[in-house]
Structures are given as structure tokens and as C-alpha cells.
Amino acid sequence: MTKRHYDVVVIGLGAMGSASLWHLARSGVSVLGIDRFSPPHNQGSTHGETRITRRAIGEGEALVPLALRSHQLWRQIETETGADLLHETGSLIIGRPGDNVARPGRTGFVDRSIAAARHFNIEHQVLSAAEIIARFPNFTPQDEEIGYFEPGGGYLHVEACVEANLKLARRHGATIELGTKVLELGDDGGGVKIMTGNETIHAGQVVVSAGPWAPGLLGAPFDEPAQAHPAGDALVRNRAGSPPDMVAVPGVHVASRRGRNRLFLWLSQHQRGVDENRRRILWPPIRPGRHRTRRNR
Ligand SMILES: Cc1cc2nc3c(=O)[nH]c(=O)nc-3n(C[C@H](O)[C@H](O)[C@H](O)COP(=O)(O)OP(=O)(O)OC[C@H]3O[C@@H](n4cnc5c(N)ncnc54)[C@H](O)[C@@H]3O)c2cc1C
């Protein structure tokens, strides 16, 4: 069998992988997307009809620029595919100012949403309990609770988003292989070997966007959750606090925000009850031209 080589292989084509695949294909690198099922499907985290989206991210202000950009991109994808994806119905978060709940990511959630909106100049309104009841009579907040209302918040048709991403990826030349399970990754002397049941595929770099399956595929140290970093150059640190780009796994790195052409991959939390804001980024910078590309082949 001919040895197959790609600049990048994306493993897992849910919300994260399908978007990565599209952007990689558009950037001109040769890219293969692999999924064990046929996305959109009902097995992964991206299954279901809708997902909430908002701009002022109470889980961490480091995420706000990504959320802002994502809304622009959803509109772009709608224009390019004709798909109906984003509905900006407005979103309402109700909470007690200064609360201190058991889940760390949720403490002061409404305060942090308001602070993020102010910091990034995101249109919003802060409502008293009485104002919430007047505007949204199906809610009955307690007197001391307040509401953060973001008119641009709303929801996405999540499986249609995956379909649209994959459609655009194909349009930009990505190869997509469905029903193929990646069993193992290995060092390929500067690149990565991707072992499936049938063959070994070679790649300059690999994006692992296997959702809840990622820890099993990657093993240590990626089976420990990383935490979103609140601000600064580094967007994530691993649990031990090591700086990004320092995790020594062949071909797989934790990415930092610095530099051009860097791509972030956000893996969903694995199944051990990790907070939604504890996600991982596993991607070194893409450097078109470093490996064989569709353009220079
Ligand atoms: C009930 C629920 C509600 C949520 N609500 C929201 C919300 O309102 N707003 C929001 O922003 N987020 C929400 N989320 C989170 C969001 O849905 C996830 O973060 C997102 O779908 C994760 O996508 P993913 O691509 O990382 O993972 P997945 O969708 O799980 O994709 C992983 C893919 O990898 C493939 N795969 C796995 N292992 C292999 C392998 N070995 N070889 C090949 N392929 C493989 C799988 O088949 C799958 O297609 C919610 C999640 C859940 C579960």
C-alpha cells in the first residue's frame, strides 16, 4: 500500500475537529480528517439539537476573544453554505451577586459575566429580580438575585454546524475518512504516526479532537485536565502549572497564544466531572511549507 502523508491529520470530527479541519484546509495545508463514526452522529459531545452561545464568558475572560470571533465565523459559514446555524435570541443568566458556590467555575458567575461584558464592551443589561419577572415572567428569581442579559447571546444548531464545517473542509480540499478508528499515535522522527486498524498514516502534525475519548487515545500526561488560564500570553496551563509548549509528547504540544499561524484545539472535558471551562489545547503552530503542502507538492 502507498505510504500516505499529510501535513496535518485531525482525529475526531465533532464541533472542534470539524472546525479545525475547515480552517486547516482553507490555510492550504494538506489535511486528513478521521472519525470513528460519521459526524454528525449521536455518540459524541456534539450530539443534540442546540448549544448555547454568548460573548461575555463568565467561565473566564480569556475565552471572550474566541467567543467574539466565533460569532463572526458562524455568520461567515452561514453565508458560504446557506445553512441556518446561529440564532441570537438573547441570553439570560440569573445569579446572586458575590455568590460562592461549590463548583469553582460557577462562583461569582453572574458578576464575572458582567465584568467580562464591561471589559470587552459587549452590549448587555443588568436586571433586578423585579425587572427579570417583568420581562421574563416564566422565571421567579429570589429578591437578591440579578440577571445578566446579553441581547447577542443565543443558540446554535450544533449538528448542522458540524455538517457545514465538513462541507467547507471538503470544498477546500480536505480528505475525510469516516468509520475509521485511530488506535494509537506514535513518534515518526519529527512527525506523527497514526495507526488505524488498516494502516499507518504519516503526518507532520496531528490535532487530537477526540472529545471524551481523547484521554484514552493520548494517555499521560494528557489524561489529566488542564485549566483555562485567566489572562496573559498563555491560554492554558496544565494542572501542574507547567508553561504551555513544555509537555513532551512526540508531535503533540500544548499551545500558547503567542506568534503567528498558531492554532488552538480545545478538547472537551473528559468524563471525570471536570468543569466545562477546564479544557485542553493541544496544538503547535501550523507552519505551511514546513511539510509538503497541496500547493508545493
Ligand atoms: C449535554 C451537553 C450540553 C452542552 N451544552 C453546551 C452549550 O450549551 N454550549 C456550549 O458551548 N457547549 C456545550 N456543551 C459542550 C459542547 O457540546 C462540547 O464542548 C463540544 O460538543 C465538544 O466537541 P468535541 O469535538 O470536542 O467532541 P465530540 O463531539 O465528542 O467529538 C469527538 C469526535 O471524535 C471521534 N473520535 C473519538 N475517538 C476517536 C478515535 N480513536 N478515532 C477516530 N475518531 C475518534 C468521535 O467519533 C467524535 O466524533 C455541552 C455538552 C453536553 C454534553
Residue 35 has pLDDT above 70, yes or no: yes
The whole-number average pLDDT for the span 7-28 is: 97
| Atom 19 (ligand 1) nearest CA | 268
Pick from 251, 225, 248: which is nearest to 238 by CA?
225
Ligand 1 pocket check for 9: Cβ under 6 Å: no
Mean confidence (pLDDT) of the chain = 79
Phi-psi region of 229 (alpha: psi -120 to 50; beta: other; left: phi over 0): beta
pTM over 0.85: no
Residue 179 has pLDDT above 60, yes or no: yes
Residue span(s) of the chain under CATH 3.30.9.10 come to 55-152
34 in Cβ contact with 194 (< 8 Å): yes
Q: Do you know the residue count of the chain?
A: 297
CA angle 296, 33, 54 (to 5 degrees): 110
Ligand 1 pocket check for 11: Cβ under 6 Å: yes
Residue 221: the pLDDT is 75
Ligand 1 pocket check for 277: Cβ under 6 Å: no
Report how far residue 3's alpha carbon sits from residue 52's, in angstroms, rounded to the nearest whole number. Answer: 42
Residue 169: the pLDDT is 98
Pick from 91, 123, 121, 89: which is nearest to 109 by CA?
91
Report how far residue 218's alpha carbon sits from residue 240's, in angstroms, rounded to the nearest whole number. Answer: 18
Fold type of domain 55-152: D-Amino Acid Oxidase; Chain A, domain 2 (3.30.9)
Q: Where are the beta strands (DSSP E) in 119-215?
A: 125-127, 146-150, 154-157, 175-178, 182-187, 192-196, 200-208
Pairing mode of beta strands 227-228, 31-35: unpaired
Residue span(s) of the chain under CATH 3.50.50.60 come to 5-50+159-281
- Atom from ligand 1 closest to the CA of residue 180: 43
Ligand 1 pocket check for 36: Cβ under 6 Å: yes
Q: What is the pLDDT of residues 60-115, one digit of tens each?
A: 899 999 999 999 999 999 999 999 999 999 999 999 998 887 766 678 899 999 99
Report how far residue 160's alpha carbon sits from residue 165's, in angstroms, rounded to the nearest whole number. Answer: 9
Cα 44 to averaged position of ligand 1 atoms, centre (Å): 5
Ligand 1 pocket check for 201: Cβ under 6 Å: no
Q: What is the pLDDT of residues 110-149, one digit of tens each?
A: 999 999 999 999 999 999 999 999 998 888 999 999 999 9
Residue 1: the pLDDT is 65
Residue 246 has pLDDT above 90, yes or no: no
More confident residue, 285 or 147: 147
Ligand 1 pocket check for 182: Cβ under 6 Å: yes
Pairing mode of beta strands 50-53, 154-157: antiparallel
Cα 33 to averaged position of ligand 1 atoms, centre (Å): 15
Domain spanning 5-50+159-281: CATH superfamily: FAD/NAD(P)-binding domain (3.50.50.60)
277 in Cβ contact with 63 (< 8 Å): yes
Report how far residue 120's alpha carbon sits from residue 142's, in angstroms, rounded to the nearest whole number. Answer: 29
